[in-house]
Structure 1
Amino acid sequence: MTTPKPTPSFVGWRALVVHKAHPNVDAIMLQFERIGVAAVHCWPEATDLPDISTFNVVLIDADMGYDGQFPWNPGEAPMPTIALIGSEAPGRVSWAMNQGADAQLLKPIGSAGLYSALVAACHAFARRNALAAEVAGLRARLESREILAEATAFIMVRDNISARAAFQQLRLMAMADRETLEAAATRLIESFSEERAAR
């Protein structure tokens, strides 16, 4: 049986609403106030805000938003992103997805819906970041294996020994210099490349 997760609280959070002045924005601001979130409204660009890193969530206008509106690249918002969608035109929905929207809120905005969108956006943002970290870790491990394999192969050819003996030699080299296997392998490959370039 899984333990239920506690009900999220957003009290004390800061939200950035990037949308032109409109009754939809007024409705969002009221909802934020009810759940204890301090919201800041701006339009058209969020690039000039000096304290952008202090926001916990950003709401973007999927209908009139454009590239270059934010101080980050599309899809790289450093916080959960909620798209405010009024038009379901494919190009507008596609733009919102390219921005990395973690959740959506359909316009016209009423007196409810924001809390659910916040929960969904935060959950999706956390999962996306965890997946990106996992992929980065796997890539680093793959690169590490490639470096170790290359260094081992170099020692095998240079000393005419087996793969096991070459790897053991690499391990001893790393221990002697008090460095990781990867660092020793990288140093060995770099020195070999320099020697070859000098010939």
Structure 2
Amino acid sequence: MKQKKPRMLFRGLHALIWHDSDSNRQFLELYLQRLGIRVSSCGVAGKLERCHEFDLLFFDSDHDLPIDDLKHDGPSIALVGSEAPSRLQWILDHKVASLIFKPVRSAGIYGSIVFAMNQHEERLSIAAQQDRFSSKIRYRKLVIFAVLKLMREQGCNEEAAFSGLRRQAMERRITIEMLCADMLGQNLPSNRLHDA
């Protein structure tokens, strides 16, 4: 399988920083803007209704912020001030993609974004691949059921039934799985598919 080139440029993304206004947030805002990232910020007690669409979330992990309420499907980066085990467990429980330690300095910010964005894209790719495999498995079952149906109806063997399905799929220019789904889903009487 071909290795995908990692994403290294982030110009045009929208980042939300959920952190009280202090030197950490101000430094991060300026750094992200220099990368070409559009930035919105909100204090930890603030409501995020105005910032419902963003690509990347930075948040203060020293507060129990209701991150799950955001329904954000993109990567999250925790701004970490305390390395207490309970804080680290809270971060792990929220499936954070990367960390930036406070006080925020330029070292580590870019690398944290690279890791977070690429990990997120990899996760989406794996989820899409799993969906494709699940669909293939479901469709393979339909092929088996269609072959068995033809064997019963036409009194032919497995090879002849499958060959007939394949031939009809080619004639209709659809996949054999689509043909079988159509044949079984509509519960239509199947035509004789093998040669007379």
TM-score (norm 2): 0.75
Superposition pairs of residues 1-199 of structure 1, within 5 angstroms: 8-43=8-43, 44-49=46-51, 52=53, 55-64=54-63, 65-72=65-72, 77=73, 79-192=74-187
**Contact 1:19/1:60 (<8 A) preserved:** yes
Q: Are the aligned partners of 1:27 and 1:110 in contact in 2 as well (CA < 8 Å)?
A: yes
How far apart are 1:40 and its partner, in Å? 1.0
**CA offset digits 1:86-108 (Å, max 9, x no partner):** 23345543443344322111223
Whole-Å separation in 2 of the counterparts to 1:63 and 1:171: 60
Structure 1: which 5+ runs fail to align?
A: 195-199
TM-score between both structures, scaled by the size of structure 1: 0.74
More displaced, 7-16 or 146-155? 7-16
Q: Provide the rounded CA distance (Å) in 2 between the counterparts of 1:87 and 1:175.
A: 63
Task: Between 29-38 and 179-188, report the one with greater CA deviation.
Answer: 29-38
Offset from partner CA, 1:121-172 (integer Å, 9 cap, x none): 1221222222222222222222221211121122222322211111122224
How far off its partner does 1:47 sit? 4.3
CA distance in 2 between counterparts of 1:156 and 1:8 reads 55
**In structure 2, what residue type is equivalent to 1:37?**
I
Q: Taking structure 1 as reference, are residues 185 and 11 closer, same or farther at Cα in structure 2, changes over 3 Å only?
A: closer
Secondary structure of the residue aligned to 2:153 is helix
- Report the aligned-residue RMSD: 3.0
Q: Secondary structure of 1:69's partner? A: helix
CA distance, structure 2, for counterparts of residue 112 and residue 34 of structure 1: 14
Task: Kindly indicate whether the alpha-carbon contact (under 8 Å) linking 2:139 and 2:181 is maintained by their aligned counterparts in 1.
Answer: no
d(CA) in 1 for partners of 2:90, 2:182: 45
Shift of 1:174: 3.0
Q: Which amino acid aligns with 1:104?
A: L
**Is contact 1:45-1:70 (8 Å) kept?**
no
Question: Counterpart of 2:194?
Answer: none
The answer to whether the Cα contact below 8 Å between 2:16 and 2:51 also exists between their aligned partners in 1 is no
Contact 1:102–1:120 at 8 Å: present in 2 too? yes
**How many residues are matched?**
182
Cα 1:171/1:33, change in 2 over 3 Å: closer
The 2-side partners of 1:145 and 1:6 are apart by: 34
How far, CA to CA, are the matches of 1:63 and 1:88 in structure 2?
Answer: 9
Deviation at 1:68, TM superposition (A): 4.0
Counterparts of 1:56 and 1:36, CA distance in 2: 13
Pairwise CA distance, 1:61? 2.7
